[in-house]
Structure formats: structure tokens, C-alpha cells
């Protein structure tokens, strides 16, 4: 079977408003249930398979006899689809919560094993059991409202002690209220995660467990009627050589098999009631704990990932080869897509291009570039999703491609390139990968052979190769949603195994889609457990050095804290991993159904502070560039000309733009101080203010962090336009390409020299362009190309794809058509060299990487502040102590004082800073040798404390220690 590519859009941007929100699954409005069908797979193979199918033949007899079709002679006094909804919550073994008016009403619970419940004129028919429920006047207990705060005001109903809850939970359920005269007043289905957690929370083995002589399979599926396993010799096609019915014990199904199964494939057949169809369904599904799969993504590989044959040479010694990391404050992050890295790199072997093994090609242009950045100080490569995701066929022979020769002939502002890319976008080899199917398996399209265990070995070789060139590796994990749901979607896994449990649902029982598709519910015990188990697998089995959590705000804070503790508890002796070196961070956006802690305390920016977990800082991004990714594309910011060099967009009159510019400078200063909540600086009004007292235009506090490593500063990422593209949009049409390149560098230098964790999008240091595409998740190699030969930055390869960009084509077309916008090779070389300089400067002194909030407040100061500030300039000083003198400790053996001046003005500025007079400052030695002749003109006059800084330049001055 092949994975059908659909619903492929994903963009992890920090706003619900920017997302394409897919509608909830349309639920059937059936008045009666169909007869249960036996699995077509089972029917097709029963005759050939012999006695091992006896369990399923008896199952067929049972299900057919118990599920005969009922006549739909129905008159409905309430909404016809009422039983397709689930507005009540079974929250524990003894309690059901329902937001209904029950004064003078009798409430009953109905259950039908064969899913035959029907709303009749006289009430509910088709049930196997019926129980009356008693109103609990005490209401819902605290432990329930803490777990489900969105239902805290619901009424509570007692479940009778005599009820066989374990078996009733396998049924179609309805809760119904009748008036005194017997009229049906209200009815609905039930959501079950609470009671499933209460009764079936499980910490034992799951997945395939290997021992010396046997393999045992475990599947958590407490609502399933029957679970069978089919085993195959081959990754696709053919008939199963074995079928077994698993045995259930307290919701966990298991089967024992011989060690000879290793290397074979299997799928589960789960017979289970599914609330999305209101029927008992027969679902063919992968193991949620799969560690290997077939190339079609539809069979699980029985593979022991601890097997020596799947380890590169000296794999178990890698922990001792990893690059040194003394503190998380020393981290710098480089966000890279696996395919982008080498798909267009001619120096990589064709079989390795776009895949894991490209990172093992030591002399390729891409690896040479990474080594160059590492030698300048870069510490971590952040890889976009590399688990098994939908949207890209694992079989490369099925891919389609465009004609590059013909595309190169087209004008830079043509719409034909995007049309060609759009025509094959779901059939090529490209996708960012934010379409999770199975979290715990490496993606097969990046492997040289997607079948068998090849992907496991090659993934490990990639990690090992990056570690050996001095770079640690972060994985982008996407636990906030899943690509598929329902019983019929081939990419659906978890929702087939325990329907209605893994995915978060709204008050009507329909799946939440605020993350763009099928939100998961980490507040449910077994969802959280799967997340933690998956993280530990990647950390231990693949020796990953960190994790970036996509839409982390949709994950509960308690889950993130458990993840941090579990990872950082790993030890070299016990696990072959030093967990204290594993850094985790993510997107703390607060929106959707979890906003304002509506589903519990979530991992939003403000909630996560104080945990040591990093959060992306969108405040510094918006202040540096202007507006936000969701505002007008011409809205300017600190580096793009706001107030100082207008682009024609109506920002307001001069006083307004001046206030906007000073506000942007404040936000940047807070970011430069690690976005610390309690950092005190002087505002543009001259008043001292804490970072949390300075607010955005929407009234939200700018600062949220309590320690520097909780802030991840950035100006661009895979989402939205590249840095070069956004600069090209926001700056005036008439400025030169030289100026645009300087602005690009100015923006990256703000991030590189900030306290906290700096984050860079791969290619920003090479002026990377996506031809102005704001969302290139499925725009193919054409728009996403990286050129490590520095020949081109990919600007002007056509108008970007219509779907996300067409409304801005009128702005884009004249820019793309204008040859002066395109950088030349010397511009790209200069940009890379300047970026290297900034990294070298950052790592030339520990003062740029302060470890605590106290150290930051004590040592970092901002000058040129208050009402008399010189617009467009930020002056930051960082002071060190002196050995043997009272006061602050000495951190830097070379420099005792550092001053950084950011000048975003289109002209040279002179800044007299009285507090910095008599300092023995000189331009940083790295900048004195820079390829940038302009920065060499920056100067400092000791007597007056006057700094003279060239236009659009970042200058760093240092005071060396006396001998």
C-alpha cells in the first residue's frame, strides 16, 4: 500500500491566524448501524493460511450474529446527529461529567457492543445494557477539574458500582436525559480519555520486545474488541505467513513469537468502535511503537535497534567523541532541512543527495561550509522533521520532477515556475515533514533503501558524522498533532488503535484542528507516555543532543517537565548518553483551545519560564524586521528603514514612526539581555522599567524568561520568508544591493551578539532566497535550493507558489524583475565571511554567553537611551570583573569590557556616551581584519567617549586586560 498524500500543509508559525485550519472530520449522520464486516485482508487469506485463522472465523460468527441490521423506522425529536457528538465526559471509573440541565430529569447510560444505538420517538433502542445514573451533588472533584479545567462547571453523575465498566467501554455509548413524563430531553455520546486513564494507565512494555529466544508484542488498546497480528516475509504484497489473535490483560494485548520473526513485517487488525463513524470498524494499522517500517509506510518492521549490525563502527563510543559543551549558554543553533542540505549539491554522490548519507561526505561543499561555521563557533545543527511523515513517497522511483533546463530559461518574475512546481508538489521528494505519521521511525525517503533497517543505520551515520566534525544534533519533534485520523485514512495510526483517545476533542466531541490538523492531547496519560518514550528512544538509540518542540504551547507544561527530567537523567554508564547535555526548546505560542490554560497549564512562553526550557523569542524578530509575519509585508522595523528610510507604506506621521522606532529599539534591547523578565533598562521616556513592564503593541509583556537559556533569539526560520527576502520586501525599492546585504548582516549580528541562545536559519549567512516564498513547506527543491558553492542565492527563480503568495505578487513582481536586487557571488562570499566574524566574536568572550539572570543584570548596560537617544542606534556594554578585586567575578581572561554598537541608520552616526569616557576601547581584532572595509572605519575617541559608526554596521569594541 502507498501513503496517500493529502492535507499536506503545515507551517509552525506563531499565530493561529496564519494557519490554514482544516475542518473537523465530517461525521456520518446514520440512523442505524451497518453490519460489521470482516477484514478484507482476513477474508482474502483465510483459506490459504489454515488453522491459525480459527480465532477470526469464530470472531466472524460472533460479530455477525450480534450485529444484525435494524430497521430504521425512526422519528427523532432532537438533533438527528446527536449520537455522533460526544458532549459528555466519562472522567473516572465512578463519574461522568455532562453539561446539561437535569432538574426533574432521569439520566441513563446506554451501551451497545454492536454500535446499534438509535434515537427513537420513545427513547433509545438497540442497547445491550442500560444503567440509571445518579446526580452527584458534590460536583466534580479537584483532581478531575485540574485535568479537565474546561469542564469544571459540568454536572457530575455517579456510575453504579455494579457496572462492568471494562467491557462497557468497548461499546457505543450514549447518555440520555428523560423528563418525568418519559420524553427524551437530551442525549449525546461520551468522551472516554478520563476513564481510560483512570482504569488503564499502563507503564509496562509496549511495541516489540526482543529477548534471546523470543519476541513479544504489546499493544495498548483497552477499547478494542479483538486484536489480531498478521506477519509477512516481505515489505509489501504477498500473503501473511502467520496470523495470531492477541490476548488482552487489563487493556494491553500481547502475543509471543519466536526470534525467527526478526526481520519480518507485521500489521495489527483492530476491531474497535470508532466514534467518527459511529460503527465498529476493522482497522489495519501499524504498531504505534514501531522502530522500523516498510517503504510503503504500512507495515511495521520487526527490528531490534540495539542489534550490533545496525551500529556504525565505534557507535557505542560516540558519547566520548561528542564536541564539548560546558553550558547551554554556549549553544548556537543552525536550522537545516535534510533534503535542502544536499539535494542541489553536485559535490555529493548522486545516491546520497537529499539524504542522511550526504552528511558523511567529508569533502562536499555542504560539509566544508558546516566545518567553516563550526570553526567559527557554531555548536548545533537543528534538523527539520526526520521521523516518518506523510507527503513524500519513500520510493524515489515514484517521484516526479520538473525540467530544470526549461525553468532556467524563464524570466525571474514569471508565474510559470510556480505552476510547474505546483503541478507535482505532492508527487516529488520534497516536504518539510510537519505531517507526523509515526514519531519513532526515521523517514525512509532520506535513506538509500527505505525497506529493511537501512534507514536506522544511515540515520546513525548522519549523527555520528555531524558529531565528528564538531556539531551536536537537534531533532525537530512534532508531538502537537498527527497527519491522519479516523478508521479509513491510511496515515492514521493512533486514532485506529484507541479511537477518540489520542486526539484532543472539542466540547461537541469533534477533533480540534488549531495546529492545522488532528491536535494531540498530552494531558492524557498514554499520550504523554508515548511522547516521553519516543524522546528517550531518539536520545538513547540515536544519541541525539537536543529537541526542538513544534508548537510546544499545545503540549502541557507537566509533560515538558517530565521530558526534561527524563532526558537529563540519562547517564553515560546506564544509557551511553550524557543527558545533562541535552537541550530542549520550542515554540511557546499560546492560541487555540489551549490558550489561557483552558486545557491545563500549557507550555506557553510565560508558563514555561523558570524551567530552563527554551522558547523562541518572536519579539526581537518583529522589532528587528518590522510588523510580524502576519501583518502587511511592507511594514518596516529597526533594520529595514522604519522612520529613517521610509519605503512608501503608510506607517503614520513622523512622530508615530519615531515612537515605533524607539519602541522597536527597546524590544531589541530586552532581547539582547536574553528577554529576561526582571532585567531593568531605561525606557525611551527615561524611566527605569523591567523587561516584563515593556509591552508589545497588543499589550503583551515583551519579556518572559527567568534565565538566559530560556530565550532562543532569531530573526528568521523555515517559516515565512527568508531573512534576505523579507529585507528585500521591506526596504525601499531604490536602495542598492550592497545596502540590502549590509542590512541582512546587521540583523544576523543582533542575534549573534545577544544573550541567550542564538538561532539561525540555514542559508541566511549566504543571503538565501526562496524567491519571496512565505511558506515553502511544499515548494520543492526549486524554491528551497541551497547553494554551498556560493554561486547563487536563489533569488529571482519565478513568482512563488500561488496559494500562499498570490495576493502579494504585485509587490513581488517588480522586485524579482529588477536585476539590481540579485546579489552577485562576491556579495555571498562577503556575507559568509561577515557571519563567520560574528560567530568568532561571540565565542571570543564568555561575556556574550552569560549563564544567569543575575550576571546579565549585573554586567549588561544600554546607553543612548531615554528621550535624547540617537534614532537607529543601540549601544550595549558588557562589563567583567577583575581577579583579586572586590565586586563582580572575572569571567574573561582577555577582555575586561566590551561595547557593541548597532547602527541601522542609512548614514554614519556619532554617539557620545559620557559613561564610557576614558575606556581603553579599540575595535575588536576580528573586525580589524575583516573583509568589510566599512566596519574598519568604526572608531572610538577615549577623551569624549564618542563612537563613530558607519551606516548599517555593527561594531564591537573591546578593552583588553593590562598585563
Residue numbers annotated as active site:
550, 587
| Cα 195 to Cα 89: distance, rounded to the nearest angstrom | 9
Q: Identify the CA nearest to 713 among candidates 768, 765, 668.
A: 668
d(CA 89, CA 402): 51
Taking the C-alpha atoms of residue 830 and residue 932, their distance in angstroms, rounded to an integer, is 7
Assess contact for 939 and 956: CB atoms under 8 A: no
Separation CA 669–CA 680 (nearest Å): 10
Instruction: Cell numbers for 401, please give them.
Output: 520532477
User: What count of residues does the chain have?
Assistant: 963
Residue with cell 500481547: 254
CA distances from 474 to 74, 311, 435, 548 (A): 58, 20, 18, 7
CB 334 within 8 A of CB 760: yes
Check: CB of residue 849 under 8 Å from CB of residue 331: no
Beta-carbon contacts of residue 853 (< 8 Å; ≥ 6 apart):
674, 676, 678, 679, 705, 706, 707, 708
Q: Give which of 437, 390, 475 is closest to 777, Cα–Cα.
A: 390
> How far is it, in rounded angstroms, from Cα 822 to Cα 350?
29
Using an 8 Å Cβ cutoff, are 422 and 801 in contact? yes
**Residue 599 and residue 605: Cα distance in Å, rounded?**
16
Edge-to-edge strand ranges of the sheet holding 214-220: 207-210, 214-220, 252-258, 247-249
CA distance 938 to 956: 9
Is the CB of residue 781 less than 8 Å from the CB of residue 407? no
Of 325, 327, 333, 324, the residue nearest 757 (C-alpha):
333
Residue 584's alpha-carbon distances to 137, 548, 901, in angstroms, are: 44, 6, 31
User: Which residues, at least 6 apart from 350, have a Cβ–Cβ distance to it below 8 Å?
Assistant: none
User: Rounded to an integer, what distance in angstroms lies between the CA atom of residue 174 and that of residue 179?
Assistant: 17
Cα-to-chain-centroid distance, residue 76: 45
d(C-alpha 203, C-alpha 197), whole Å: 12
Dist CA 292 CA 287 (whole Å): 10
Helix, strand or coil, per DSSP, at residue 941:
strand
Q: H or E stretch including 442?
A: strand 436-442
Per-residue cell: 458: 544511515
Q: Which three cell numbers stand for residue 834?
A: 561577515
Alpha-carbon gap, residue 434 to 517, rounded angstroms: 10
d(CA 422, CA 184): 53
Cβ contacts of residue 352 below 8 Å, gap of 6+? Answer: 342, 358, 360, 361, 448
- Comparing CA positions, the residue from 713, 735, 945, 942 lying closest to residue 838 is 713
Amino acid at each position: 500500500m502507498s501513503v496517500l498524500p493529502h492535507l499536506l500543509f503545515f507551517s509552525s508559525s506563531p499565530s493561529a491566524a496564519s494557519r490554514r485550519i482544516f475542518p473537523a472530520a465530517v461525521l456520518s449522520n446514520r440512523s442505524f448501524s451497518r453490519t460489521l464486516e470482516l477484514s478484507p485482508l482476513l477474508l482474502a487469506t483465510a483459506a490459504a493460511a489454515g488453522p491459525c485463522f480459527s480465532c477470526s472465523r469464530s470472531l466472524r460468527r460472533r460479530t455477525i450474529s450480534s450485529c444484525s441490521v435494524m430497521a430504521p423506522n425512526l422519528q427523532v425529536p432532537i438533533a438527528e446527529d446527536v449520537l455522533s457528538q460526544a458532549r459528555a465526559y466519562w472522567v473516572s471509573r465512578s463519574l461522568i461529567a455532562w453539561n446539561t440541565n437535569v432538574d426533574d430529569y432521569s439520566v441513563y447510560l446506554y451501551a451497545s457492543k454492536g454500535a446499534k444505538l438509535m434515537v427513537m420517538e420513545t427513547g433509545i433502542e438497540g442497547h445491550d445494557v442500560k444503567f440509571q445514573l445518579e446526580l452527584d451533588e458534590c460536583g466534580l472533584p479537584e483532581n478531575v477539574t485540574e485535568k479537565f479545567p474546561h469542564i469544571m462547571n459540568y454536572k457530575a453523575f455517579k456510575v453504579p458500582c455494579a457496572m462492568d465498566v471494562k467491557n462497557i467501554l468497548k461499546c457505543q455509548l450514549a447518555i440520555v436525559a428523560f423528563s418525568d413524563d418519559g420524553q427524551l430531553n437530551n442525549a449525546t455520546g461520551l468522551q472516554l480519555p478520563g476513564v481510560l486513564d483512570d482504569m488503564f494507565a499502563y507503564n509496562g512494555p509496549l511495541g516489540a520486545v526482543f529477548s534471546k529466544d523470543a519476541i513479544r508484542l504489546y499493544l495498548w488498546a483497552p477499547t478494542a474488541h479483538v486484536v489480531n497480528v498478521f506477519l509477512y516475509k516481505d515489505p509489501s504484497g504477498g500473503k501473511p505467513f502467520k496470523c495470531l489473535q492477541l490476548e488482552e490483560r487489563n487493556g494491553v494485548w500481547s502475543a509471543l513469537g519466536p526470534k525467527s520473526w526478526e526481520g519480518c513485517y507485521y500489521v495489527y487488525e483492530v476491531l474497535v468502535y470508532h466514534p467518527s463513524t459511529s460503527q465498529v470498524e476493522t482497522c489495519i494499522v501499524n504498531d504505534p511503537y514501531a522502530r522500523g517500517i516498510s517503504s510503503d509506510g504500512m507495515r511495521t518492521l520487526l527490528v531490534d535497534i540495539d542489534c550490533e549490525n545496525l551500529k556504525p563502527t565505534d557507535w557505542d563510543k560516540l558519547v566520548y567523541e561528542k564536541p564539548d559543551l560546558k553550558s547551554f549558554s554556549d549553544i548556537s543553533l543552525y536550522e537545516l532541512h535534510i533534503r535542502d542540505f544536499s539535494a542541489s549539491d553536485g559535490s555529493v554522490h548522486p545516491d546520497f543527495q537529499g539524504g542522511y548519507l550526504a552528511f558523511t561526505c567529508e569533502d562536499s561543499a555542504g560539509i566544508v561550509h558546516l566545518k567553516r561555521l563550526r570553526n567559527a563557533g557554531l555548536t548545533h545543527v537543528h534538523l527539520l522533521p526526520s521521523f516518518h511523515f506523510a507527503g513524500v513517497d519513500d520510493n524515489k522511483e515514484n517521484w516526479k520532477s520538473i525540467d530544470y533546463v526549461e525553468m532556467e530559461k524563464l524570466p525571474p518574475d514569471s508565474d510559470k515556475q510556480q505552476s510547474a512546481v505546483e503541478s507535482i508538489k505532492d508527487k516529488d521528494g520534497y516536504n518539510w515533514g510537519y505531517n507526523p505519521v509515526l514519531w519513532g521511525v526515521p523517514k525512509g525517503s532520506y535513506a538509500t533503501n527505505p525497506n529493511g533497517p537501512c534507514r536506522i543505520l544511515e540515520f546513525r551515520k548522519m549523527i555520528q558524522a555531524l558529531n565528528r566534525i564538531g556539531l551536536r544534533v537537534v531533532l525537530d519533534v512534532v508531538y502537537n498533532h498527527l497527519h491522519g485520523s479516523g478508521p479509513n485514512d491510511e496515515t492514521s495510526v493512533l486514532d485506529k488503535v484507541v479511537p477518540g483517545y489520542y486526539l484532543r476533542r472539542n466540547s461537541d466531541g469533534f477533533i480540534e484542528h488549531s495546529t492545522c490538523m488532528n491536535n494531540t492531547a498530552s494531558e492524557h496519560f498514554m499520550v504523554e507516555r508515548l511522547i516521553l518514550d519516543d524522546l528517550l528512544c531518539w536520545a538513547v538509540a540515536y544519541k541525539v543532543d537536543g529537541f526542538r518542540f513544534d508548537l510546544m504551547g499545545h503540549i502541557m507544561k507537566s509533560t515538558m517537565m517530565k521530558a526534561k527530567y527524563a532526558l537529563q537523567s540519562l547517564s553515560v554508564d546506564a544509557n551511553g548518553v550524557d543527558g545533562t547535555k541535552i537541550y530542549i526548546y520550542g515554540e511557546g505560542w499560546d492560541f487555540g483551545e489551549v490558550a489561557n490554560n483552558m486545557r491545563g497549564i500549557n507550555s506557553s512562553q510565560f508558563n514555561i519560564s523558570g524551567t530552563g526550557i527554551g522558547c523562541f523569542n518572536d519579539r526581537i524578530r518583529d522589532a528587528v524586521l518590522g510588523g510580524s509575519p502576519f501583518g502587511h509585508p511592507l511594514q518596516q522595523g529597526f533594520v529595514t528603514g522604519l522612520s529613517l528610510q521610509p519605503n512608501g507604506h503608510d506607517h503614520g506621521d513622523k512622530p508615530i514612526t519615531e515612537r515605533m522606532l524607539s519602541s522597536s529599539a527597546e524590544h531589541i534591547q530586552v532581547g539582547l539581555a536574553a528577554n529576561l523578565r526582571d532585567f531593568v533598562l531605561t525606557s525611551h521616556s527615561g524611566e527605569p522599567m523591567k523587561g516584563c513592564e515593556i509591552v508589545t503593541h497588543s499589550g503583551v509583556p515583551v519579556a518572559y524568561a527567568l534565565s538566559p537559556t530560556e530565550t532562543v533569539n532569531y530573526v528568521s526560520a523555515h517559516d515565512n520568508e527568508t531573512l534576505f527576502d523579507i529585507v528585500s520586501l521591506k526596504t525601499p525599492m531604490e536602495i542598492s544591493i550592497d545596502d540590502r546585504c549590509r542590512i541582512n548582516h546587521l540583523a544576523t549580528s543582533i542575534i549573534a551578539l545577544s544573550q541567550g541562545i542564538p538561532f539561525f536559519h540555514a542559508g541566511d549567512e549566504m543571503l538565501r532566497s526562496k524567491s519571496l516564498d512565505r511558506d515553502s513547506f511544499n515548494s520543492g527543491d526549486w524554491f528551497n535550493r541551497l547553494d554551498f558553492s556560493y554561486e547563487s542565492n536563489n533569488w529571482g527563480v519565478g513568482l512563488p507558489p500561488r496559494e500562499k503568495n498570490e495576493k502579494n505578487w504585485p509587490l513581488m513582481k517588480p522586485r524579482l524583475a529588477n536585476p539590481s536586487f540579485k546579489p552577485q557571488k562576491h556579495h555571498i562570499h562577503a556575507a559568509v565571511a561577515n557571519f563567520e566574524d560574528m560567530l568568532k566574536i561571540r565565542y571570543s568572550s564568555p561575556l556574550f554567553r552569560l549563564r544567569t539572570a543575575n550576571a546579565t543584570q549585573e554586567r549588561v548596560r544600554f546607553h543612548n537611551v531615554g528621550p535624547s537617544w540617537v534614532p537607529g542606534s543601540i549601544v550595549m556594554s558588557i562589563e567583567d570583573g577583575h581577579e583579586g578585586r572586590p565586586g563582580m567575578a572575572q569571567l574573561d581572561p582577555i577582555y575586561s569590557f566590551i561595547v557593541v554598537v548597532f547602527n541601522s541608520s542609512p548614514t554614519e552616526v556619532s554617539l557620545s556616551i559620557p559613561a564610557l569616557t576614558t575606556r581603553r576601547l579599540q575595535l575588536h581584532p576580528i573586525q580589524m581584519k575583516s573583509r568589510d572595509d566599512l566596519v574598519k572605519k568604526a572608531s572610538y575617541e577615549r577623551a569624549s567617549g564618542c563612537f563613530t559608526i558607519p551606516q548599517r554596521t555593527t561594531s564591537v569594541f573591546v578593552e583588553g586586560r593590562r598585563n
